[in-house]
Amino acid sequence: MTSGDSTTSSDAARFLLRYPLSRIGGLPEDLPVTVWDGVGDRPSSEDLTGIGFFVVPYGSTDAAVALLDRMPSLRVVQSLSAGIADLAHHIPPDVVLCNGRGVHDASTAELAVSLTLASLRGIPNLVRAQAGEEWQTGFRHELADRTVLLARTAPRRPGARVLRTGRICCLARRSWSSPFR
């Protein structure tokens, strides 16, 4: 816990976050926050008493569950994972549990593009060759001048029927036409 980032206010719900506001951005500077990374020293009972909104540190569900009984003002628990089964049965009935569906969409898409490019360019083989102190030359495949289809599966909503298994977000083909034809 970082005590320098903890603000106390008896009339406002406090937030228990993994990072100080200076690392998050986009939130009011005077937001009453207690910081806990899910691994270090746990917040004091005094700090936990006023917590109304708790963002569970990613990968620290077990440690977070141990704190729930010590937060009598708790109204909302935000998971950073889409799956909340390991957390759901620990949440008191008067507390709202929010999942993190969509939180990782952009980073997952970036990873998919990066791995596709790395694979086409032979990066895994080059890394293995480097470890063996070999210099591999040659031509590698590239993404340019290829047809690319980016597809995203339809998000599932509670109570909604999934009418399609996928949705095309972008279909692009790089082409060139001579202006002299």
End of a domain among 98, 120, 155? 98
Would you state the pLDDT for residue 155?
57
Same domain assignment for residues 71 and 110: no
The whole domain housing 120 covers 105-173
Residues 7 and 93 in one domain: yes
Per-residue three-class SS string for 111-178: HHHHHHHHHHCCHHHHHHHHHCCCCCCCCCCCCCCCEEEEEECCCCCCCCCCCCCCEEEEEEECCCCC
Among 98, 113, 133, give the residue marking a domain's end.
98
Average pLDDT, rounded, for the chain? 77
Cα–Cα distance for residue pair 50/11, rounded to 1 Å? 9
Render pLDDT for 24-62 as a digit per residue (tens, 0 to 9).
888 888 889 999 988 989 888 888 999 999 999 888 888
What are the structure tokens assigned to 30, written together? 């005077």
pLDDT, average across residues 69-93 = 90
Please give the helix or strand (H or E) that residue 129 lies within, else none.
helix 123-131
Last residue of a domain, one of 98, 128, 149: 98
Residue 174, pLDDT above cutoff 70:
no
**Based on the domain organization, do 89 and 109 belong to the same domain?**
no
Examine residue 41 and state whether it is found in any structural domain, yes or no. Answer: yes
Claim to verify: residue 69 and residue 115 sit in the same structural domain: no
Q: Is residue 149's pLDDT more than 90? A: no
- Say which DSSP state 4 is in: G
The model carries a pTM of 0.62
Same domain, 50 and 133: no
Helices 105-120 & 123-131 angle (0-180, nearest 10): 70
**Mean pLDDT, range 136-165, rounded to an integer:** 62
Q: Is residue 93 part of a domain?
A: yes
Residue 138: is its pLDDT beyond 90? no
Mean pLDDT of 101-109: 79
Q: Domain of 31: which CATH number?
A: 3.40.50.720
User: Would you say residue 151 has pLDDT above 90?
Assistant: no
